[in-house]
Amino acid sequence: MLTHSEAFSLQGSLALVTGGGTGIGRAITDALVKAGARVVVAGRRREPLEETAAAYPGKVFACTYDVTQEQEAGNFLKRIHSELGTPTILVNNAGIHLKKKAEEVTAEEFRKVLETHIVGAHALTAASIPLMREAGGGSILYIASMASLFGIPYVVAYAAAKSAMLGVVRTLAVEYGGENIRVNAIAPGWIETEMSRKAMEGDPERKRKVLGRTPLGRFGTPEDIGWAAVYLCSPAARFITGTCLAVDGGISIGF
């Protein structure tokens, strides 16, 4: 039987977090490290990755990587495996947002959003699975969205990608559960990040409406998502796969 500390410990694990240098990704990285994991943070911009690595010497490692260059996923994972060991935790967090009327979204814009959230993430997942299999199992976590669960205007490409993500999660969970590879998602609600602040800027009425629909009556913090990620990747969640955990203050069940 696991003790409390053992159940939530990630000691000895190596995690890969895309978009791990800023916002929710940074909070996930912070929480994984505090739970005992070493973390590779990957993204296109070197500076935030290096800042994150500098905060945790010997625990966090910065690697520039563009998830839309899916043909590089295999080599990227091989390099991590060779230099640091086997990543048994993968957090597909990197993404882009597009806010536009549906009729104005071009095919190229739609495709770019899907390539980032779905195709690019899948390339890393596919490259990670053989390594996890060899290690005896692992945990794959996708960062979904409220747009995965209900309709939100002006984000048709983003909503399509985040909704597709849940189908991917369920399919992978069924396909690889027998190999002790668990696959889950987190759907964050309104979280206090630079992106959400920009979305609310100059629109106090929108903020009032969001808080009015949130039973807990507040915005979430990136840390709320970080600790949820630790839970789903830890032994405490060893019998959980194929699910989407809404970390949203209850907004998805509101009126």
> Whose CA is closest to 218, among 203, 208, 230?
208
The residues near 157 (Cβ < 8 Å, ≥ 6 apart) are 98, 105, 109, 110, 113, 114
* DSSP track, 162-212: HHHHHHHHHHHHHHHGGGTEEEEEEEE-SB-SHHHHHHHTT-HHHHHHHHH
CA-CA distance, 52 to 48, in Å (whole number)?
6
Dig out the tokens for 27 from the structure. 């909070």
The residues near 94 (Cβ < 8 Å, ≥ 6 apart) are 18, 19, 25, 42, 43, 67, 116, 120, 121
Cα angle: 8, vertex 164, 210; to 5 degrees: 70
**Phi, psi at 68, each rounded to 5°:** -80, -10
How far apart are the two ends of the chain, measured CA to CA in Å? 41
The H or E element containing residue 124 is helix 121-135
Dig out the tokens for 55 from the structure. 């905060």
Annotated catalytic sites, by residue?
158
